[in-house]
Amino acid sequence: KQEVTQIPAALSVPEGENLVLNCSFTDSAIYNLQWFRQDPGKGLTSLLLIQSSQREQTSGRLNASLDKSSGRSTLYIAASQPGDSATYLCAVMGGGSNYKLTFGKGTLLTVNP
Amino acid sequence: DGGITQSPKYLFRKEGQNVTLSCEQNLNHDAMYWYRQDPGQGLRLIYYSQIVNDFQKGDIAEGYSVSREKKESFPLTVTSAQKNPTAFYLCASSIQASYYGYTFGSGTRLTVV
């Protein structure tokens, strides 16, 4: 059974700092990995989608990497801003005929002005 | 604009009552999913449907029921058999292929009163 772990559970940084969020998964037979952002009481907003054949994806100040063989992904946020404060969730889509997503518990990020 | 609409945003249920959460999508996605989110637990899959008139149980299906009579709609009923229904419920959809990610709705917060 696929398990996804996110470290740290919570992170507080001053504005302007570069930061890295970590995600690990136990079964490397994945189709893709998706990073989401969730604001309090809201749904999930997709940030980046990395296919199993890709090493990284970039969108603005966000960069996500994937090392499928070691079961790891990182989300790098450059020059953090208070508006980046949210919970960040990592999810993997399993291999075979399994198109279900398995989620980590998330990292709660607070960027202080 | 294409997207997923969940309604209502807030729902209150009395003890012993069944309630139905609505999820509608206009993305022409094949697959639809229901997740439950509790503090500290992450997102857990309740039910999913890959095609019309077919659905499968997820990890925590007890006390819930679904139907998929139309491609656009995937309502979730929380029955009186669900002993701890207070949670945030999220609906998602995807194209039934590995290259695409999920799109989520804005969620329904269900509270037992």
Q: Tell me: pLDDT of B25 over 90.
A: yes
Mean pLDDT confidence for B104-111 = 96
pLDDT at A96: 57
CB within 8 Å: B103 and A46:
yes
pLDDT along chain A (113 residues), means of 10: 93 97 94 95 95 95 97 98 97 77 95 97
Disruptive mutation site among B25, B57, B102, B111 for chain A (greatest number of A CBs within 10 Å): B102
Mean pLDDT, chain B, integer = 92
Rounded to a whole number of angstroms, the distance from the CA of B1 to the nearest CA of chain A is 16
How confident is the model over B3-16, as pLDDT tens digits?
999 999 999 988 88
Q: Which residues from B are below 8 Å from A46, CB to CB?
A: 101-104
CA of B61: how far to CAs of A81, B54, B57, in Å?
39, 15, 6
pLDDT at B40: 79
Residue from B104, B43, B30, B108 nearest B72 by CA: B30
Cβ density class B26-43: b for 16+ within 10 Å, e for less: eeebbbbbbbbbeeeebb
Question: What pLDDT band is residue B33 in, cutting at 50, 70 and 90?
Answer: very high
Residue from B110, B42, B38, B106 nearest A88 by CA: B42
pLDDT at B100: 82
CB within 8 Å: A41 and B41:
no
CB within 8 Å: B101 and A46:
yes
Q: Please, how many CA atoms are within 13 Å of residue B111, restricted to the half-sphere of its CB?
A: 6
**Structure tokens of B41?**
């637990």
CA of A72: how far to CAs of A23, A56, A77, B13, B105, in Å?
6, 12, 17, 41, 27
Q: Tell me: pLDDT of B97 over 90.
A: no
